[in-house]
Amino acid sequence: MRLGKVPCASAILGALAGLCIFAVQAAVPGGMVSDREIGGVVSSPKGPEAGVWVIAETMELPTRFAKIVVTDDQGRFLIPELPKAHYQVWVRGYGLVDSPKTVASPGQRLKLEAVPAPDARAAAAYYPGVYWYSLLEIPKPEEFPGTGPQGNGIPQSMKSQYYWVDTLKNGCQSCHALGSRGVREVPGFFMHLGHGDSFAAWAYRTQAGQAMGYMATVLARLGPEKGLTLFSQWTDRIAQGALPFETPLRPQGLERNAVYTLWDWSSPRDYLHDAISTDKRQPTVNANGPIWGAPEESTDLVPILDPIHNTVSEIRMPYRDPATPSQLEVGKGPSAYWGDEHIWDGHTSIHNLILDERGRIWFASRIRPSPNPAFCKQGSSHPSARALPLDESMRQISMYDPDKKTWRLIDTCFSTHHLYFAHDRDNTLWTSAGPPGSGVVGWLNTRLYLETGDEQKSQGWTPLIIDTNGNGRRDDYVAADAPLDPKKDKRVMAAFYGVQPSPVDDSIWGQSMDVGFSRMDQPGYLVRLNPGSDPAHTALAEIYRPPEGTFGLRGLDIDSRGVVWTVLSSGQMASFDRSKCKGPLSGPTTAEGRQCPEGWSLYRFPGPQFKGLDPKGSADHAYYLWVDRFNTLGLGKDVPIASTNGGESLLAWVNGQFVNLHVPYPMPFFTKNVDGRIDDPAAGWKGRGLWTTSGTRANFHGEGGKEASPKVIRVQIRPSPLAD
């Protein structure tokens, strides 16, 4: 009986008992509720509250557990699949402040009272960060190129406004949720150090913690004086009462069908970059199995979640050389949260991870100091070293076999950042190098490596060479900064940040970052690599720049038709369909990447834009993008999903519009990756879902402060807001 024990004095005869149960069901807000559900209705003095979130959280399981649903148009809700425990249940929504928390257990039906926000400022406290950081003033186009520290404070190397915006988003917003309360309000600790001056407080703030070196680098690109001035003026305006000039919409349509499940993992001192649940090529691999995390610089402890038993554990990643650098050696300034404590102690810099078809986990990780061994360098007989010797590698590869509980550490001459398996018999693992610099693409033949253990023979790399002489083969080439030679090809110094083997042919697609703030002055590209029979010597590249007025490619994925999807820091999702190209794809006209504008399509992110910037873009920014080739979420096959850091959501492009999957608790939702898995193809929505993790470097900036642990988040779409 789904209603559980319902006292009814007239339930004497079977027929009358049935009538009694029916009457109780009809009177209960939200309908029937099983012993694994909490249901009910949310209302306020205005009536039923549609499109608000109901959050149920418990500390009674082995790790903190929460589940979040959205009310339907009558204010009804049903929280499904709850483990047995006592839960704190409350309402959160745009136009509201949090309701009082109610203690409830599965099987109960609740009538929750929403609390309208008393004023606009109280309401705006729950808005995604983009609504707040769009108040930041952006230098005007006429201020570029910069005139340096003795002029307008913008470096002379910063030649265009779009490079400044791209640096802000891909340099600052990619690590921190800029508009979140922990950033838009300056801690009193820094104001005290700055003697009440917000400019000085921001100077101390950007020298805090173990990321101070990276923050200093980004600030130098923006122009330290200019950047600190604009940031301090922004937070001053907010402290004086400035409010967002746009308001977000409550969840609509399919957005109300979302179910979000959250687990704590790792430690409040650590942060997570990525998580993985399955083999991207076969999303039923590791069904119902553990979720694995990549904690980047913060720790060598790889977190593991068992979502069936709600337990978390860790394994320590080893490294080969005792001299491998540690984050404990990194200088730091005093933190408003952690004082002089070094909270990160990682050696292995675990950035990205992927599962193979047998459930083994492959990591982009550091196993040694950066100088390369002799087989990588000039004079080596290695085929790739003969084509292009490499002196340094900042991060290599590790592999963990959960069945055997064994590690393999694999030395690579090329740096690794992201890594994905090709669709070939060698199970080739293609890697990106991350930020610009090396200008090579590397790979590991994992079949050969697992058979022989020979890391040297199993790896290779190639520079990116464009067929500018148009003869269809790779020839001798000129350097990236040299003029074209009609008899030669041309190298491009673009390093893959995103990387993805195509599912429809042998091509490897990559995405390189804009580097307009540096001596290279190079825009970002999509790059198509045709490896050929001997990639170190035969690989040819094609480069494609995004349309005029857009910029800042970051991350990519490919749908089952071979269409490439990416996100732009100008505030759009974009697709590129090479099959639409009309002009030549090799020859001298392709050296700048301006061929094939007809291949691009743009989709503006929702939300506000910075004042004075192109309204065809958005202030929002996405860290990466993932394509749901196998309909693991339930929104359809080949749906692209952007991890937006400003909008604090997963934005899915479905049938010509965005479905905004915003996780409202804990604020801010900040993720860098998505991974979809099918646990049971026959179980409907309950047997599938997306997996991600909180990816901010500073969980302590958000709700929960120093006690906040990183989260694993599963996102599922059910047929309706009340489906069980």
The DSSP-derived string for 120-184 is HHHHHTTS-THHHHTTSPPPPGGG-S---TTTTSS-TT--SHHHHHHHIIIIIITTS-TTSHHHH
Rounding to the nearest 10 degrees, give the CA dihedral for residues 464, 467, 468, 470: 180
Over residues 255-268, mean pLDDT: 98
Q: What pLDDT, on a 0 to 100 scale, did the predictor assign at position 495?
A: 86
DSSP, collapsed to helix, strand or coil, labels residue 703 as: coil
CA distance 526 to 593: 9
Q: What pLDDT, on a 0 to 100 scale, did the predictor assign at position 31?
A: 60
Give me the long-range contacts of 595-599 (CB less than 8 A, separation at least 24): 595/544, 596/544, 597/547, 599/544
**Does position 517 have pLDDT exceeding 90, yes or no?**
no
- Give the residue, 723 or 28, on which the prediction is more confident: 723
Over residues 660-664, mean pLDDT: 98
**Does position 387 have pLDDT exceeding 80, yes or no?**
yes
Confidence of residue 108 (pLDDT cuts 50, 70, 90): very high
Q: What pLDDT, on a 0 to 100 scale, did the predictor assign at position 206?
A: 95
Confidence of residue 5 (pLDDT cuts 50, 70, 90): very low
Reading the block at residue 378, the tokens are 């000039």
**Does position 4 have pLDDT exceeding 90, yes or no?**
no
**Does position 8 have pLDDT exceeding 80, yes or no?**
no
- Give the residue, 548 or 520, on which the prediction is more confident: 548
- CB 609 within 8 Å of CB 615: yes
Strands 38-44 and 109-113: parallel
Question: 469: number of CA atoms within 13 Å, CB side?
Answer: 15
- CB 649 within 8 Å of CB 661: yes
| Average pLDDT of the chain, as a whole number | 93
Which residues make Cβ contacts (< 8 Å) with residue 473, sequence separation at least 6? 467, 538, 540
DSSP 8-state symbol, 269: T
- CB 269 within 8 Å of CB 706: no
Reading the block at residue 192, the tokens are 């005290």
Confidence of residue 518 (pLDDT cuts 50, 70, 90): low
- CB 231 within 8 Å of CB 135: no
Confidence of residue 48 (pLDDT cuts 50, 70, 90): very high
Residue reference for tokens 């982009």 = 364
Q: What pLDDT, on a 0 to 100 scale, did the predictor assign at position 514?
A: 83
CA distance 66 to 56: 5
- Percentage of the chain surpassing pLDDT 90? 91
- Percentage of the chain surpassing pLDDT 70? 95
Q: Is 719 exposed, middle or buried (0-12, 13-18, 19+ CB in 10 A)?
A: exposed
Question: 527: number of CA atoms within 13 Å, CB side?
Answer: 34
Confidence of residue 625 (pLDDT cuts 50, 70, 90): very high
Confidence of residue 29 (pLDDT cuts 50, 70, 90): very low
- CB 532 within 8 Å of CB 539: yes
Note the Cα 108 to chain centre separation in Å. 36
User: Alpha carbon of 242 to those of 178, 180, 184, 233: distances in Å?
Assistant: 16, 15, 11, 11
> Any bridge partners for residue 642, and if so which?
625, 651
Which helix (H) or strand (E) segment holds residue 383: the answer is helix 383-387
Over residues 585-606, mean pLDDT: 96
Q: Which of 395, 398, 430, 429 has its CA nearest to residue 413?
A: 395
CA distance 481 to 193: 46
Over residues 498-527, mean pLDDT: 86
Over residues 619-630, mean pLDDT: 97
Whole-model pTM: value is 0.94
Q: Is 472 exposed, middle or buried (0-12, 13-18, 19+ CB in 10 A)?
A: exposed
**Does position 220 have pLDDT exceeding 70, yes or no?**
yes
Note the Cα 616 to chain centre separation in Å. 23
User: Alpha carbon of 122 to those of 114, 381, 544: distances in Å?
Assistant: 14, 67, 45
CA distance 484 to 477: 9
Q: What pLDDT, on a 0 to 100 scale, did the predictor assign at position 20?
A: 29
CA distance 691 to 710: 14
Over residues 166-179, mean pLDDT: 91
Confidence of residue 436 (pLDDT cuts 50, 70, 90): low
Rg of the chain taking only CA atoms, in angstroms: 26
CA distance 391 to 311: 43
Strands 419-421 and 406-410: unpaired
Question: 613: number of CA atoms within 13 Å, CB side?
Answer: 27
**Does position 3 have pLDDT exceeding 80, yes or no?**
no
Q: What pLDDT, on a 0 to 100 scale, did the predictor assign at position 437?
A: 65
Q: What pLDDT, on a 0 to 100 scale, did the predictor assign at position 523?
A: 84
String of DSSP letters for 237-267: HHHTT---SS-PPPP-GGGGGEEEEEEE-S-
Over residues 697-717, mean pLDDT: 96
Over residues 146-173, mean pLDDT: 93
DSSP, collapsed to helix, strand or coil, labels residue 12 as: coil
CA distance 370 to 296: 16
Which helix (H) or strand (E) segment holds residue 197: the answer is none
Over residues 617-629, mean pLDDT: 97
Reading the block at residue 55, the tokens are 């959050």
Strands 498-501 and 508-512: antiparallel
Confidence of residue 574 (pLDDT cuts 50, 70, 90): very high
